Amino acid sequence: MSLTIREESRHIPLESEADVAVVGGGTAGVMAAVGAAREGAHTCLIERCGSVGGMLSTGLMGHFGNKYRSGDGRELVMGPPRDILECLVASGATPYNTLNEALSEDLSIYYRHEHAARECFRMLDEANVELWLHAYFARAVSAPGAGYDLFFECKGGRRAIRARQVVDCTGEADVASSLGAAMQEDKTLRYSWGLIFEMGWVDLPRYEGFLKTCPASCPEWDAWLADRLGMTLEELGEDRYWREWLDGCQRAWPFRPQIMRAVEAGAFDLVRRLPEGGMIRYGWDGFAPEPWHGVDAVTANVCMVTGLDPSNPRHVTIAETAARKYAYDFLLFLRKYLPGFEKAVIRTMSGQTVPRGEREIVGESRLAPEDYSGKHIREDSICIVGSSGMGLPLGMFVPQGIPNLLVAGRCADQGYSVRGSVCCMAAGFSCGIIAALAARLGVTPMQVKRDEWRSALTRHGVLLAPGTAVPGFVPSDTRSASRGLTPDRADGLERAGKLS
């Protein structure tokens, strides 16, 4: 048993009494706060960083997975989650000339992350949200009557906010966990963490020229990799990370011969073992020249940590330290082995190494396998997402047995399966509106009548069934000629698509 010490009880300044408090000002949290405030609730937002937007901004994601429309072009997500894209396009923070051009993108819609933070701040300000930055949520306890007292640490010490309804958007279910909510089976080992960074001073034409010389196949690679890792080929094929590296796999690095040479020379570690059972390796998730970010820019999402628990503070420190060191070592490898990277530098790096998934609550209801097809939209859907246009039921955001709390973002029940940024924004916005209704009516979110919340969501622009086709949308095979990008931009996106 670990040692404990007792802290004296003390009186904590009560900073605010809110109708709705949102904890975590990231992708889902900003939208939840805007939704609650637009529905008339006095809303507080508590964020541990010095900026808002989470993965959208400080996480350096730089592109929305395009879930704004279904695969066949029907609009799914409207309201503030789409307004943010529209503002990014209008302010020249994307490579697109018009919103519809962005919405027509196949997989990812590119933008500058710093500008996303600016749009988030603007929306919060316009909605009159009471914002608390550098405020680290620590604990929730039931308040007298209903609702919760939320304690957080900030400059000047511990503070509290009392709220009738709370939306937990920490990405890690910190509030729900503090209140003892049941969580799904431990998936700590299944999910990976990522640290995104952007490099500059890359000679992209030179790199491009080099890529053309890379052979499509590297036949000795698979056996060599198995040997270096001490695994069999069958084990490699079954491993959900390593199998992405195998020869012929769509995501295999084009420069495998260079990796082999660097590993043999001790200049590249395929994997590093970390304390406490952790591991870091270069992931396949993204390594993309994006010339529209700058004619010398490459974004890398290649530091992949596994085997550590994001809710364990020691593990968090191990993951952060290892990922940052790995990023710099990756740069050294690129400089030495890849033409075009000789003078590359790391220009900017995410403020956090972020788990792709973590704790997930046990919700009042779950997505059934048939829901993913989008063929039948449930009546209890609070938003429509995904390429199939599926509905997300209110119950997946309601932790069993914990009243007056909604959990939005990647820590909702099955949150990992709908963790794309647009899905998180859409669900966050709807949860904020429903929390505000519950606060006004003095009931729990599940007790708000369905007709009532459906009509409120619709009033705020939320689609509860797929809408009409995005104007000008054309199927992908005929799109590139018509999307109106300048040759440079089109070229950059083309390459990014191939390599990420």
Ligand X SMILES: Cc1cc2nc3c(=O)[nH]c(=O)nc-3n(C[C@H](O)[C@H](O)[C@H](O)COP(=O)(O)OP(=O)(O)OC[C@H]3O[C@@H](n4cnc5c(N)ncnc54)[C@H](O)[C@@H]3O)c2cc1C
Residues that bind ligand X (CB under 6 A): 23-29, 46-49, 54-55, 59, 61, 63-65, 136-137, 169-172, 174, 194, 196, 301, 354, 356, 409-410, 419-421, 424
Give me the least distance between CB of 261 and ligand X, in Å please: 28
State CA 305 to chain mean position distance: 16
Q: Which is nearer to ligand X, 199 or 226 (CB)?
A: 199
| CA 425 – CA 120 distance, rounded (Å) | 11
**C-alpha distances out from residue 340 to 145, 202, 349, Å:** 64, 6, 20
What is the H or E stretch that residue 189 is in?
none
Please classify residue 75 by burial: count the beta carbons closer than 10 Å to its beta carbon, then call 0-12 exposed, 13-18 middle and 19+ buried.
buried
Q: Which is nearer to ligand X, 88 or 424 (CB)?
A: 424
Give me the least distance between CB of 436 and ligand X, in Å please: 18
* 495 phi and psi angles, rounded to 5 deg: -70, -40
Q: Give me the residue whose beta carbon is nearest to ligand X.
A: 26
Q: Which is nearer to ligand X, 311 or 365 (CB)?
A: 311
Give me the least distance between CB of 196 and ligand X, in Å please: 6
What is the H or E stretch that residue 341 is in?
none
Q: Which is nearer to ligand X, 176 or 354 (CB)?
A: 354
The two three-digit tokens of residue 306, written as one number:
């596994």
Q: At what angle do helices 256-264 and 313-337 cross, to 10 degrees?
A: 110
Q: Which is nearer to ligand X, 13 or 313 (CB)?
A: 313
Q: Are 181 and 361 in contact (CB under 8 A)?
A: yes
Give me the least distance between CB of 429 and ligand X, in Å please: 11
Q: Which is nearer to ligand X, 136 or 337 (CB)?
A: 136
Q: Which is nearer to ligand X, 170 or 381 (CB)?
A: 170
Question: Which stretches does DSSP call E strand in 394-437?
Answer: 405-407
Q: Which is nearer to ligand X, 64 or 221 (CB)?
A: 64
Give me the least distance between CB of 91 and ligand X, in Å please: 20
SS3 439: helix
Give me the least distance between CB of 204 and ligand X, in Å please: 21
Q: At what angle do helices 113-126 and 27-38 cross, to 10 degrees?
A: 20
Give me the least distance between CB of 286 and ligand X, in Å please: 7
SS3 45: strand
The two three-digit tokens of residue 475, written as one number:
């199927």
Give me the least distance between CB of 442 and ligand X, in Å please: 27
Sequence letter at residue 86: E
Give me the least distance between CB of 407 and ligand X, in Å please: 9
* 283 phi and psi angles, rounded to 5 deg: -90, 170
* 338 phi and psi angles, rounded to 5 deg: -115, 115
Q: Which is nearer to ligand X, 87 or 323 (CB)?
A: 323
Residue whose token pair is 């009494």: 17
